[in-house]
Amino acid sequence: MRPTPHRENPWRRNGQALISRVKAGKDLKGSIVKALTMLGGVDKAIARGDNVLVKPNFNSPDPSPMATDLPFLGAVVELLLEAGAKVTIGESAGGVWRPSRKGFEKRGALALARYLGVEFIIFEEKPADWVRVKIDGNFLKSVIMPRSAYEADKLVYLPCIKTHSLGRYSGSLKLAMGFMHPGQRRSMHLGHLEQKIAEINLCWQPDLIITDGRKALVTGGPSAGQVVEPAILMASGDMIANDIESVKIISGYKTKNRLPADPWQLPQIVTALRYGLGSGKDGYTVVE
């Protein structure tokens, strides 16, 4: 298989990619709508009838911000359904937390999908669903990914804001690792993890990223560490802008972690920039 065609980021102004940043209020769904409205509205990327795959972060069954908050996931799915999309949720857990179904049931994610009336695809449970996508990375030449995600009309990513003991941070770029076939995913840790994380995204890029920063993990990670409450929600179509702004939020807290003073020096970001997976320093605007 070839990588899916790159779609132009619809949320731009004066040649700049936009990322919205709002204070999350008591009305969670209303706060998400506000973040999307500041970009120009969800309908700029999601059309009625689109088959949309929503990718949360359920690497482990831990609570937010180690994993996606269920009310947040529910609110996003409801908004997409109201926009006329046909929604599927898809995810697989990290190695030590598999089988994924056990953790997803414990977390309540599968019950939420049933309540919303949408399918939850556990990638590892569909052996015929895998396709090999050829990419031209320095470290990865192909990635084994779910056909259900490859063939979706649109992809919506729901990253958390958190540090990561091996990858330094986990944002929208690293969210793609949850798509990978378990066997190939294990080999990611044999060297150059941060560069490989960026290269996975040569397979495809999300159409919309909505980041839940009401809580953030600023040490440790991915499943334990110091939790803070920035009370921020962000939305964008630009993975680099999203991850830079997420790292800035983490760096605003005086803690000991592996993040450099300049987030643009992070290997995930440096590699993503090399492949044109988002905007550079002067290529995006934060709207508040």
pLDDT at 222 over 90: yes
Give me the percent of the chain exceeding a pLDDT of 90: 97
Segment 2-9 mean pLDDT: 94
pLDDT reported for residue 214? 98
pLDDT reported for residue 108? 97
pLDDT at 235 over 90: yes
Specify if 151 maps to a domain.
yes
Segment 57-74 mean pLDDT: 97
Instruction: Find, among 272, 271, 263, 174, the residue nearest to 222 by Cα.
Output: 174
Specify if 102 maps to a domain.
yes
CB 66 within 8 A of CB 217: yes
pLDDT at 92 over 90: yes
13: which 2 tokens? 């102004």
Segment 28-39 mean pLDDT: 98
9: which 2 tokens? 């980021």
pLDDT-derived band at 35, boundaries 50, 70, 90: very high
Domain that holds residue 176: 12-287
CATH number at residue 194: 3.40.50.11440
Specify if 278 maps to a domain.
yes
CB 146 within 8 A of CB 126: yes
Specify if 22 maps to a domain.
yes
pLDDT reported for residue 160? 98
Q: Which residues contact 200 (CB under 8 A, 6 or more apart)?
A: 140, 143, 176, 177, 179, 180
pLDDT at 58 over 90: yes
Q: Which residues contact 189 (CB under 8 A, 6 or more apart)?
A: 166
Q: What is the rounded CA–CA span in Å between residue 196 and residue 268?
A: 8
pLDDT reported for residue 75? 98
Specify if 3 maps to a domain.
no
**Tokens 């490859």 map to which residue?**
150
pLDDT reported for residue 188? 94
Burial of 255 (0-12, 13-18, 19+ CB in 10 A): middle
Residue 71 identity (one-letter amino acid) = P
Please provide the DSSP assignment of 56-125 as one string: ---SSSPPTTTS--HHHHHHHHHHHHHTT-EEEEEE---GGG-SHHHHHHHHTHHHHHHHHT-EEEEGGG
**First-to-final CA distance of the chain:** 40
How many domains does the chain divide into? 1
Specify if 5 maps to a domain.
no
pLDDT-derived band at 127, boundaries 50, 70, 90: confident
Q: What is the rounded CA–CA span in Å between residue 154 and residue 53?
A: 6
pLDDT-derived band at 169, boundaries 50, 70, 90: very high
pLDDT reported for residue 95? 86
Specify if 1 maps to a domain.
no
Specify if 192 maps to a domain.
yes
pLDDT reported for residue 131? 97
Residue-averaged pLDDT of the chain: 97
pLDDT-derived band at 128, boundaries 50, 70, 90: confident
pLDDT at 97 over 90: yes
